[in-house]
Each structure stands twice: as structure tokens, then as C-alpha cells.
Amino acid sequence: MVRRYDPERRQRIIDAAIRVVADKGIGGLSHRSAAAEADVPLGSTTYHFKTLDELMVAALRQTNEGFAKVVASRGALEDTGADLAGELAGLLGEWLGGDRTSVELEYELYLAALRRPVLRPVAAEWCQDLAERIGRRTDPVTARALVAVMDGICLQVLVTGAEYDEEYTREVLARVIP
């Protein structure tokens, strides 16, 4: 049997897993569903990801990049003279104002860590990275509190389907900053 060289196969499987979760939810993800979506043999998914948890870790790690890209593109946290609460509220507004399905997907994978302990370190990476970035502008405890409040506001917006209120978010975040 001749194996076709396919250096992008692993990435295609991760992308397929993300599409499956977006379409069918976390419960719809399996090696089989990812293989079908990626149009690869089932053995390819189990070769690259021995367990479903490994595939979910890769998918969560990739989806975590969504908000990080918004933060990096704005450069808002680098300007020490800018209103921190306003900048953070603006970041959330940009993220939630984009592709809502993508944000929902990120949270679905993030919350899967409640039932799958192997995902917890990856889910924590997002919080830690954001807290470190915010911590350059404030103390570490305040930075972690801001991340928690931002996370809560995002969840409320996603779960209720409400419109994101940037001014409300700025006011709430400003109350946390000493």
C-alpha cells in the first residue's frame, strides 16, 4: 500500500472537528464524524489523535486563537495611556460583533472542560494569557478579576441572545479597576 504524502491532513482534521462541533455540538464530535467531515479515512483521525480528548484539545487550542487575534490586532492593551476599561469593552465588542457562531463555538469547546478534565489546562491557557496581558496595565489580582467579569458578560450575551452593551461593560469593568 502506497501512502500519499499529505502534510496538511492533521490540520484538516482539526478544522473538520471544529466544523462538526459548530454544526452538531460537542456531542456530535467523534473520530468518525471528524473523518467524514475532513474527507479522510477513519484511520487518519485515530493516527493523528489517539483519543477523542486529544482531538478536542487540538480544536480548543485552535479556537482559543480567535479572541487572541482580536487582542493582538487592536494593540489596545499596549497603550498605557488608554482607558483600560474602555479598551477591554471595545475588545469584547469587536469579538462579539464578529461571527457570533465562531464565538459560540469557542465557548462550547471551552465549557466542555467542565466534563473533560483533559481540556482544563487548555481552557485555562486562554484565561492566563489574557490575565497576563491585562496584568501589564494593572496588578495580577485585578487582571484576573477583569478576565472573570469579561468571561461572565460574554456568557450572558451568548446564552441570552442579548445585544452586547459596550457602555455597560466599560462601566462594570471600570468598577473593578482600582
Convert the pLDDT of each residue in 95-123 to its tens digit: 898 778 888 888 888 888 899 999 899 88
CA distance 122 to 117: 10
Query: What does the pLDDT profile of the chain (178 residues) look like in tens digits?
Result: 334 667 799 999 999 999 999 899 889 999 999 999 999 999 999 999 999 999 999 998 888 877 777 777 777 688 788 899 999 999 999 889 877 888 888 888 888 889 999 989 988 988 898 899 899 999 999 999 999 999 999 999 999 999 999 999 999 999 999 9
Smallest CA-to-CA distance from 12 within 29, 30, 37 is with 37
CA distance 28 to 18: 11
CATH class of 64-176: mainly alpha
Look up the CATH number of domain 9-59.
Answer: 1.10.10.60
CA distance 142 to 39: 46
CA distance 49 to 53: 8
Q: Residue ranges per domain, the chain?
A: 9-59, 64-176
| The pLDDT of residue 76 | 67
Domains 9-59 and 64-176 agree in fold? no
| The pLDDT of residue 153 | 96
CA distance 169 to 62: 27
| The pLDDT of residue 70 | 77
**pTM confidence score:** 0.82
| Burial status of residue 75 (CB atoms within 10 A of its CB: 0-12, 13-18, 19 or more) | exposed
Smallest CA-to-CA distance from 54 within 1, 13, 111 is with 13
